[in-house]
Structure 1
Amino acid sequence: MEAIRGRIASRALTTGDRLPSIRSFAATMGVSPSTVVEAYDRLAAEGMIRARRGSGFYVASAAPPPTLAEIGPKLDRAIDPLWVSRQSLDADAIVAKPGCGWLPADWMPNSAIRRAVRKLARANDGVLSDYGATRGHLTLRRLLARQFAGEGLEASPDQILLTGSGTQSIDLICRLLIRPGDTVVVDDPCYFNFQALLRAHQATMVGVPYTLTGPDMDRFGEVVATYRPRLYITNSALHNPTGATLSPQVAHRLLNVAAAHDVTIVEDEIFADFEPEPSPRLAALDGLSRVIRIGSYSKTLSASIRCGYIAARAGWIEALIDLQVATNFGGVSPAAAEVVFAALSDGSYRKHLEAVRRRLARARRDTAARLENLHISPWLMPRGGFYLWCSLPDGRDAATIARAALTEDLVLAPGDVFSVSQTASSFMRFNVSQMSDLRVFDVLERALAAAKE
């Protein structure tokens, strides 16, 4: 029975295929024909195969394709990256979400977005109705190129591809550069959707511990020498979930090791605008030779208006354009790109970012103080951004706390969601912008007490 199930699961046998005859399969398996008859009868009773009088047995239905949650290690749903994402995205408005990865709606530049939408209403019919150009909105790409030049990264608009989101950017890069079974290095801990995407591409993930100044370079060197990875995916500026910042020394060592072992680096700079002062950027140091830069506007402008980008060397951009046409037929929505460009060009956007950085600084201080009252300690106090990566008192299990909090409509992000090695069970990531409601701390206190019992 297991042999037949295995053949169906592997697609060696599909719907309508005839099974081996009883005598030939008995000989193959080294059992008596009566044993095969019993196995076939049981499989028929399960509905997996069916008998045709005088003809034999046939596959009744092929096995359903594996779900994404079934690919890779079987995880407790409280620490499964897909499950935590779904909790955050599907939660009702009344549910508090300190485990989510975005700012509250009233923190966003909604007035600028409304002005941009009104301007969009006056756009020509092609913007409102046509597919977009394959590289995306030229004026927005020129704006990005000017911003990159300001930090020392020379990239022409033709080296920039607009995408539907930062997540789609990584998906396209994975389609281009890796195949099932290829090894990809990630930080440990790292953004949990990096793991979900790599699982979807059936990559083998290897984690490297992340320190206060970047990846542990001794371990990184060992990993790339041993596993020969195709990619290393990381955050620049403010690391997710730790909030740490890459140091210049680690940045240079990282690029040297990557060059020696032919590793391509994907640098996600989605949190860069939250920094008070710019930190080292791998793409700028490397000049887009083996570093690919990605980003989007979901954290600073709007998660509803989907627009991301990839900056890479010209040959890769050409291949990525083909992949985007094949999978999405064209680039980012012209309407979305128009709104993003108008909002970014609005003189209020810079002031919006300055105000958000100040507001986040206060929220980090206030939240850290309230968490300390519960004996929850930040691993570090970040230079910017909205995350605090915290250790729990007495090594209490974050997944247990998250489950208890969810019964009181509080969505948390336990540490092992972010850890490939599953070694962060006593850590929790908190989004300080989502913790203004003091009820959050009351629920958290009860969940901590429940986890101690």
Structure 2
Amino acid sequence: MTVPLNLIPAPHDASPLTLVDQLVQWARRRIEERVFRPGMRMPSIRKLALDKGVSRFTVVEAYERLVAQGFLDSRRGSGFFVRERAASGVPAERRAPAERQPAHNTIDVVWLLRNMLHTSSPEKGPGLGYLPSRWLDGELITGALRALGRQSGAQMLGFGTAQGFLPLRQQLQTRLEEFEIGVAPDQIVLVSGITQAIDLIARIYVQPGDAVIVGDPAWFQMFGRFASQGAQLVGMPYTPEGPDLDALETLVQMWRPKMLILNSLLQNPTGTSLTAAQAFRILRLAEAYDFIVVEDDIYGDLCPPGYPATRLASLDQLKRVIYLGSFSKTLSANLRVGFVACGLDVAKAITDQKMLVGMTTPELNERVLYKVLTEGHYRRHVERLRVRLDGVRDKTARMLEKTGLRLFTMPSAGMFLWADLGVDSDALAAAAHEKGFLLTPGSLFSPQQSPTTWMRFNVANCGDPALPGVIGDYLESVARRAPAA
């Protein structure tokens, strides 16, 4: 008998799992990870039996057990559907009749974030938004921790300061001056990464009904934060040369937005960067139509020397621009230290809001970052990252094109490639998940999570030799199912 599942091995002191047990474990895991979402129709008994190489009886028995355990509903004549469950795991009433529930696999941001934390091998995580650990320098962190351990422990016992560790803010002042951004330490607020910065800014400036212009595509995690404030998210399209500024001007005239937020350098996910002319035009629009510009420069350190980097804050000098930075992409996703540079009044408002939401940020993390930045090794570390990215970017691009994908543009720096599959990227992400790969469908980068054929690839995480086959096999299967012209 074929035993193709073997997904959840039995404990050493237990009997091997039966095929029914394995199938139940497989389905439960995908329901809990939201691959199979509430209201979704499960694969038919015949199809799942063929896909998994088991008998129809095995599938029926597994489905019946899942019904008994509260994971599925059985609907006569319609099949089996994923049951809505409360957070405690107790089945909850369904929110809509079966015909109103989506019958296809819709992947959302929560699904992606949960699976990002569970992905064991970066090579199987082309959809991850950070560099693999082996590329980073843990000794930079541990060396700083050892240095702090030799200091008096008393300094670690207080709350810290509301704006953040002053020596680090002074070091960031020097760093920003290198970017031609004039700023005083009192204009810098330390935060727990870009995510907290966006949260604080949204709480202060965005009221229900306000329009906020974001990229379409753009970093997906901010969409929900602005939407939770009642904002109307307006998508600004991108071209291979950067944001479509003619479209932006039309959107600004139509919506009169409160705010525009964008990556100025190595935009996530397209990899494009602003030119000086584009930056000037954005600032002219902001002045004419009185909106705030939030500049997220989290990828700026990945720009090599000589890269034509134009930062809005260097042109505006923080009059209308709020500038965000972080070290999570280059040092450690777990360090969680970012900063906001802005006008004095804005810095005070953000500091007050920060205290209301969570008092101060952990000074230990800020002291670690201060040590890393002042001991002289960070620049060399970042240069090594750039070289490694340069070494895999072209190779990954060629692999994707050979597999049948079309690149949006070919960036000369950074982590990401934005590629057109020609088919629904949500469906490919779900199919790849079955093979153990985490891909990021383009729908997540849309303010409306609209279906799309585009997908983001992290070039540092595309080294698994099975990846081209996973993509190619799926594209071939779609082509075979397509009706003849």
Shorter-chain TM-score: which interval? Answer: 0.7 to 0.9
For 1:379-394, what aligned pairs fall within 5 Å after superposition?
379-392=408-421
Distance of aligned partners of 1:101 and 1:94 in 2 relative to their CA distance in 1, 3 Å threshold = closer
**Partner residue of 2:388 out of 359, 362, 378:** 359
Q: Specify the alignment match of 1:118 in structure 2.
A: 146
User: What does the per-residue CA deviation read over 1:174-232, in whole Å, with 9 as the maximum and x for residues that have no partner?
Assistant: 11101122110001111111212222323110001112333211211111111111111
Q: TM-score, normalising length from structure 1?
A: 0.80
Contact 2:426 2:451 in 1 (8 A): no
Q: TM-score, normalising length from structure 2?
A: 0.75
**Partner residue of 1:432 out of 456, 459, 464:** 459
Deviation (angstroms), 1:377: 2.3
Contact 1:400 1:451 in 2 (8 A): no
**Partner residue of 1:400 out of 414, 417, 427:** 427
**Partner residue of 2:230 out of 197, 202, 205:** 202
CA distance in 1, matches of 2:192, 2:448: 31
Could you say which structure has the greater relative contact order, defined with CA pairs below 8 angstroms and 6 or more residues apart?
Answer: 1
Deviation (angstroms), 1:91: 2.9
Contact 1:109 1:349 in 2 (8 A): no
Deviation (angstroms), 1:81: 2.5
Q: Specify the alignment match of 2:359 in structure 1.
A: 329
Contact 1:295 1:309 in 2 (8 A): yes
Contact 1:82 1:196 in 2 (8 A): no
Contact 1:77 1:83 in 2 (8 A): no
For 1:115-154, what aligned pairs fall within 5 Å after superposition?
115-154=143-182
User: What does the per-residue CA deviation read over 1:211-270, in whole Å, with 9 as the maximum and x for residues that have no partner?
Assistant: 233321121111111111111111121100000111111111110011111110100000
For 1:70-109, what aligned pairs fall within 5 Å after superposition?
78-93=106-121, 96-109=124-137
Gaps of 5+ in 2: 1-94, 96-100
Deviation (angstroms), 1:424: 6.4
CA distance in 2, matches of 1:442, 1:137: 49
Q: Specify the alignment match of 1:417 in structure 2.
A: 444
Gaps of 5+ in 1: 1-69
Q: Give the length in aligned residue pairs.
A: 378
Identity over aligned pairs, percent: 37
CA distance in 2, matches of 1:225, 1:183: 12
What amino acid is the match of 1:412? L
For 1:13-412, what aligned pairs fall within 5 Å after superposition?
78-93=106-121, 96-276=124-304, 277-330=307-360, 332-392=361-421, 395-412=422-439
Contact 1:184 1:205 in 2 (8 A): yes
CA distance in 2, matches of 1:450, 1:108: 38
CA distance in 2, matches of 1:447, 1:349: 41
Q: Specify the alignment match of 1:442 in structure 2.
A: 469
Secondary structure in structure 2 of the residue aligned to 1:420: coil
Distance of aligned partners of 1:227 and 1:141 in 2 relative to their CA distance in 1, 3 Å threshold = same
CA distance in 2, matches of 1:359, 1:209: 30
What amino acid is the match of 1:284? S
Q: CA RMSD in A?
A: 1.9
CA distance in 2, matches of 1:359, 1:424: 33
Contact 1:78 1:402 in 2 (8 A): no
Q: Specify the alignment match of 1:62 in structure 2.
A: none
What amino acid is the match of 1:240? N
Moved more, 101-110 or 191-200: 191-200
Q: Specify the alignment match of 1:59 in structure 2.
A: none
